[in-house]
Structure 1
Amino acid sequence: MTQLMFETFSVPQFQIANQAVLSLFATGRASGIVVESGASATSIVPVDDGNRVSSAILHSSITGRDLTTYLLGMLTKVDKVFEADDLKEPCSSNAKKRTIAQDIKQKLCFVAADFAATAKSTDIEKQYQLPDGKNLLLSNVLYQCPEPLFQPHLLGKQELGIHKLLCSSIEKCDPYICKVLYDNVVLGGGNTMFRGLDERLKNEVVSLASPNTLIKIVAATDRQFSAWKGASILCCLSIFNDMWILSKEYTDIGSSIIHRKRT
């Protein structure tokens, strides 16, 4: 990456920063724990005064792409346009179906406050208009789609849900910062944009944490861009000036300079 930026794009200065830390900075915090989930990665990253607690960082294999694929599979039972046989068509057709599934996921899917109770409800129906004008009537798939974030076994994965990973990560940190982490849980990335995710996460963590633990979930309305916002804030700080890798430094030292000045 360093070589690409300097030699191909000829940037005057460059730096690499952790995405989760940037999401935290976007909220005006220097300490907290970030649940960062996007299309290709999901991580739980505790941060103490701007520094990652590396020994306590945990990862989930459930990503935004996984949930889109999961939803697409469920949609094959909703309408014949998504049937498995159709999915064997050329890539262009498959891409269109995936784009539709992605759009449904982003616009209509939500995290159930109580998954079992919601499964018994008959009051969950939304219409989605396909590009050809046909309307799809959707119900259970809307809350089933994001549930693997909390129940990975639904995708056949034997691992902890994000709520348990969050608590486990905090438990790996020094006791002095645990209270601060519970009180500063920051959501970041497009895969955390599901309606109801913040409320469900809080309720799940409350049930796992010690009694009387104060838990606050920070869910900015534009958190899909939180890492970018955090980076723009960091670049404006005078203290960041000494962290830049300059073009001359790269020319003199090479790509190993990134290890000396990495944030």
Structure 2
Amino acid sequence: MKEGIRRVNVGGKLLTNHLKEIISYRQLHVMDETHVINQVKEDVCYVSQQFFKDMEISQMKGEENTVRFAVPEMLFHPSDIGIQEMGIPEAIMHAHFFQNIVLTGGNILFPGFRERLEAELRALAPAHLPVSVLQPDNPICYPWEGGKLLAHSPDYEEIVVTREDFEENGHFICEEKFDI
């Protein structure tokens, strides 16, 4: 269902690079430490459930400031750092799919991601429409598992474009077969 697909050009690599910039600007130069900073991002960042309250906490000095939500916030509001993209909630609203949202990928492992997304969608969606957000047990491998099931489907040969078909017909075979 191609009408349900939306791409937001904000992902894990951008978040890691932004965190490298923040740390390098404020503390020490870590621009060459992608692996380390990516691990830091995965280990300590979270998605804020109460943005304005967390912003107040972030203004405190020393150990009272325990907030690590600024980097994942980019997934919801990329324009905050000058990226002219819609956030994930707006992308889902644009696709008009509220009842069958499946979260995949590493970024949804941030604590609080599913809850924040569901709350924002509920606030944006018409009141009469149900909102359902599913987070699989292993969201990183979930798409691969779906592809594996498809590959074992009896209809597989009918729904794929073979290399030979593509080489003979070019991208037109994909447009024809997948109605794109």
| Superposition TM-score, scaled by structure 1 size | 0.57
Structure 2: which amino acid aligns with 1:167?
Answer: M
Q: Structure 2 CA distance, aligned partners of 1:261 and 1:105?
A: 41
Is 1:204 matched up with 2:130? no
Distance 1:242 1:194, change over 3 A: same
Q: Does the Cα contact within 8 Å between 1:249 and 1:257 map onto a contact in 2?
A: no
Aligned with residue 106 of structure 2, among 183, 190, 199: 190
Match of 1:103 among 39, 53, 67: 39
**Residues 244 and 163 of structure 1: is their aligned pair in 2 closer, same or farther, counting only changes over 3 Å?**
closer
SS in structure 2 opposite 1:59? Answer: coil
Alpha-carbon distance in 1 for matches of 2:166, 2:118: 45
What residue is the counterpart of 2:80 in the other structure? 154
For residues 130-155 of structure 1, give each alpha carbon's deviation from its aligned partner in whole angstroms, at most 9, with x where no partner exists.
xxxxxxxx933x21111011111222
Establish whether residue 240 from structure 1 lines up as the match of residue 166 from structure 2: no
AA in 1 matched with 2:2? R
Instruction: Specify whether residues 242 and 70 from structure 1 end up closer, same or farther in structure 2 by C-alpha distance, changes over 3 A only.
Output: same
Question: In structure 2, what is the equivalent of residue 74 of structure 1?
Answer: 22
Structure that is richer in helix per residue: 2
Task: Work out the number of aligned pairs and report it.
Answer: 172
Contact 1:111–1:194, Cα closer than 8 Å, also in 2: yes
Q: 1:214 aligns with which of 97, 120, 130?
A: 130
Change in 2 beyond 3 A, CA 1:244/1:157? closer
Assess if the C-alpha contact under 8 Å between 1:151 and 1:161 holds in 2: yes
1:189 Cα deviation from its structure 2 partner = 1.7
Distance 1:258 1:224, change over 3 A: farther
Structure-2 separation of matches of 1:249 and 1:58: 28
CA drift at 1:208: 0.9
Give the direction of change, closer, same or farther, for the CA distance of 1:60–1:244 in structure 2 (3 Å limit). closer
Between structures 1 and 2, the one with greater strand share: 1
Show CA shifts across 1:29-77 (max 9, x none).
Answer: xxxxxxxxxxxxxxxxxxxxxx322xx6433221211110111122235
Runs (5+) with no aligned partner, structure 1: 1-50, 88-93, 123-137, 171-180
